[in-house]
Chains A and B, each alone.
Chain A
Amino acid sequence: MLRLTGIVKRFPGVVALDRVDLEIRAGVVHALTGENGSGKSTLARIASGALGPDAGRIEVDGVERRIATPKEALDLGIVTISQELTLAPTLTVAENVFLGRLPRTRFRTVDWPRLLADTTEILDSLGVRVDPRRPVSELSVELQQEIEIARAVSSRSRLLILDEATSSLSEAATSRLLEVVEQERAKGVAVLMISHRMPELYRAASIASVLRDGHLVADVPLPQTPETELVRLMVGRELGDYYRKRAIDPGETVLEVRDLASLDGQLLPTSLSVRRGEIVGVAGLVGSGKAELGLALGGAIPSVGTAQVLGRDVDLSQPRTALAGGIGFVPDDRKRAALLPTRSVAENFSVAWTNQLTRAGIVDTRTERQRVREAIERYGVVTASASSRITTLSGGNQQKVVLGRVFARDLDVLVLSEPTRGIDVGAKSEIYRLMQEFAAQGAGIVIISSELPELLGIADRILVFFRGQVRGEFTTGGLEEEEVAHVAVSGTRLESAA
């Protein structure tokens, strides 16, 4: 359906794509994989008219085309769901789903009854329950992503591009999306799917193209190609055991939380303790209160209850008091709550270090430069330079900056919400290693994640949230995914349910 030949794209200081060839056929789900910054999104943006290539040929159905704008791509039936949300926040769900093609009455006014009915139908088919009249800004990131998906599948597409569309979805929602993708494929739609989650690719795709450093390194059939081989192609080396289990030797209690509850009622009074060297996983569905646990611990939302770090009370009323008490927090919504979009990579690191870097109000820029240089190296951030704007980095590399700046603060407790969202396999194992190193040095880590395999692999203990409370606690040795999932879905343990 779409054929790209010899595509070249340069950014200042970076060759993002170097003579890449890609052919996407109708009725085929085509996976595009590669490390963070390997050029996947850039290729997707070229195919969808958001970017122009510096060289190369684009053919649609055998005819050479210039896809100069997203509108032209849409007219050709090329629809994209991207990593970054592109909804109009103040408009309603229904208006967003039908943005640009609202149904009209005879008088050219918007046909609201029809709009609402059509939206409800699409949302139902996706299994999303949300009032189509609500403004999008009131919805969680996950729901917003689902609206984005609803918009894409409801437009008559011939090529559907999913650029990490699942990265902010729960497993259930991902599963529904993959079903929709399969339906579309069966109808003859071509699908280009970009994801860092291997299981999805293996489930949905029949061919994978692997990019590395802007080069196309291979096209391999799926699911015949083993995962280790695919990963080797992506990162260019053998990746050892992903989660490298270590012998844990938890020390004294580093974090003690008693009856912490968020004022919005999402998190009911919850107590937990974390010991030095321990990594505690927090699982649960969207809306189970697990996200609010992180926000409350980070001082980001109003809460009641007490928290102590090494026996000292921590004031959770503000992020800065939580930080001063020794609790570092990384939020899950990178774009809204973590990035300084107009600033450089360097400043996005050092914003978290301002206190440590300032003497009598003056920033020690030499130390700053040095620390930024070290951090870029240590966390493997791919960037043209430390002074490049953070928004010129690929999504995964932005995440590395966001994590790295908090890691580098030497805090006693780290609370990480969805820390590996959108991060490639190589970087993931790197981040797990850093977390373990951190724990080994005596920190306590709380990791909140929607990815069960990740929690089973990295955490020593898992707490499962259901309707605002911890309903199950597991140690991970020999633990099965089903046991955790069961509590998350039903609030009861597998044995007692049986």
Chain B
Amino acid sequence: MTNDHGGTVTPTDSATVPTEVVAEAPRAAKISPLRRLSLGRYTGVLVALLAVCVYLSLTQDVFLTWDNFMNIAKSNSVIFVLAIGATFVIISAGIDLSTVSAATASGMILGLTLQAGWSIVLVLLATVFFGLFLGLLNGMMITKLKISFLVVTLGTLSIYQSFALVVHDGQTISLFGKPGFNVLGNFVNHDIGPFPILLVFDLILLLVAGGVLRYTGFGRALFAVGSNPEAARLNGINVGKIILFTYGIAGLTAGIASVVQVGRLTSAAPQADPTLLLTVLAAVLIGGTAYTGGEGGVLGTLVGVLFLGVVQNGLTLSSVSSFWQGTVSGVILISAVGLGVLRDRGFTLRTRRMARSPSALAEPPSPIEPGAPS
């Protein structure tokens, strides 16, 4: 297939690379610094997010206000915290279907211990450790009993949920006015300067998680295990331990998410929003973490959560029926992940598309930095 634009860019180049850079690059030339700056697998989603934001700020007066933004940040915190844990699991080429159930169960522990008059510090420790314990339980069954992660977490999805119902006979525990609750209430509602404490907390969590993925031996090993477990094992990585830790982290984030959730609702409910799990997983996948494992990161997950959050906010502001929200999230998930799959499918498809329309360049490039804190 002859192509008369001699300088047509090859397919993996993103829009961030000027055509000439590649066309004139000598053999084995250094990758352009522009490429290094580009944001990885989720660039496309980021661009789409900005487009949606621009559209909403033009059509909805309320959208472009500080309060609205902070509202988006707060109302997506639970999703974000859970999605951080889910990112680790999905990088390991697994999936944790039990994460929302674990958060619900941990929330009940929080409610019960607080109601029983424990000191708030003990309550928080108990809650978070309970989440960790549930995650490690998943991990033990997967690594020690060698049961598939899908089976294990599908099982515990229902077990943990049922536990949450059993412990208090299906009753919601109202914590309004309970001693110690004001600490929680402050955590989810108060601000530091112009910023909600919750937002600051989320950002710290993001930095810690990104740092763990990028700079720790564990993070490196996690990517290796997700990419090719046999190669990881032969290079001396204890694959079982890494997987166990990974599900432990997912459990830990479930525990933390339950604190945020209970704080926001001022009560511990034994049942969670049934769409929550799907939203969490969708956010991770939209953020460019591959369900096949071995690539992705938490910065992408942040973009994914924001994207879904902003779209939902937009639908609410434009008073579109909330029944449509599921459709919209589903379409976004399929198109975002679908774009990624198209990109990964080799060059043929793209080369041909490229040859026809030079405008088809705005695709996310492959990840640039090893283990970028994405």
**Given A56-B2, A362-B215: A351 and B237 within 8 A (CB)?**
yes
Does A383 contact B28, Cβ atoms closer than 8 Å? yes
Contact with A along B1-30 (1 / 0, CB 8 A): 111101010101100010000110111111
Does A53 contact B29, Cβ atoms closer than 8 Å? no
Please name the residue on chain A nearest to B14 by beta carbon.
Answer: A12
- B351 interfacial by beta-carbon distance below 8 Å: yes
Please name the residue on chain B nearest to A406 by beta carbon.
Answer: B235
- A300 interfacial by beta-carbon distance below 8 Å: yes
Please name the residue on chain A nearest to B25 by beta carbon.
Answer: A13
CA distance A386 to B366 in the complex (A): 14
- A465 interfacial by beta-carbon distance below 8 Å: no
Please name the residue on chain A nearest to B13 by beta carbon.
Answer: A12
B220 CB to closest chain A CB, in angstroms?
6
Contact with A along B210-244 (1 / 0, CB 8 A): 00000111111101101110111111111000000
Does A343 contact B217, Cβ atoms closer than 8 Å? no
Does B348 contact A12, Cβ atoms closer than 8 Å? no
- B194 interfacial by beta-carbon distance below 8 Å: no
CA distance A228 to B114 in the complex (A): 83
- A437 interfacial by beta-carbon distance below 8 Å: no
CA distance A350 to B371 in the complex (A): 12
A327 CB to closest chain B CB, in angstroms?
11
Which chain B residues border A351 with CB–CB below 8 Å? 220, 224, 231-232, 235, 237
Please name the residue on chain B nearest to A50 by beta carbon.
Answer: B348
- A352 interfacial by beta-carbon distance below 8 Å: yes
CA distance A402 to B244 in the complex (A): 27
Does A342 contact B295, Cβ atoms closer than 8 Å? yes
Which chain A residues border B25 with CB–CB below 8 Å? 10, 13-15
Size category of the binding interface on chain A: 35 or more
Does A319 contact B295, Cβ atoms closer than 8 Å? no
- B294 interfacial by beta-carbon distance below 8 Å: yes
Which chain A residues border B369 with CB–CB below 8 Å? 344, 387
Please name the residue on chain B nearest to A330 by beta carbon.
Answer: B234
CA distance A54 to B24 in the complex (A): 13
Does B28 contact A12, Cβ atoms closer than 8 Å? no
Does A352 contact B36, Cβ atoms closer than 8 Å? no
CA distance A449 to B320 in the complex (A): 68
User: Could you tell me which residues of chain B, from 290 to 344, have a CB within 8 Å of some CB in chain A?
Assistant: 290, 292-295
Which chain B residues border A319 with CB–CB below 8 Å? 233-236
- A89 interfacial by beta-carbon distance below 8 Å: no
Q: Which B residues lie at the A interface, using CB under 8 A?
A: 1-4, 6, 8, 10, 12-13, 17, 22-23, 25-31, 35-36, 215-221, 223-224, 226-228, 230-238, 290, 292-295, 346-348, 351-352, 355, 366-371
Closest 8 CB pairs of A and B: A342-B294, A66-B1, A358-B217, A52-B351, A320-B236, A340-B227, A344-B370, A347-B370
Q: Which A residues lie at the B interface, using CB under 8 A?
A: 8, 10-15, 49-58, 64, 66-69, 213-214, 298, 300, 318-320, 323-324, 329, 331, 336-344, 346-347, 350-352, 354-355, 357-358, 361-363, 365, 382-389, 405
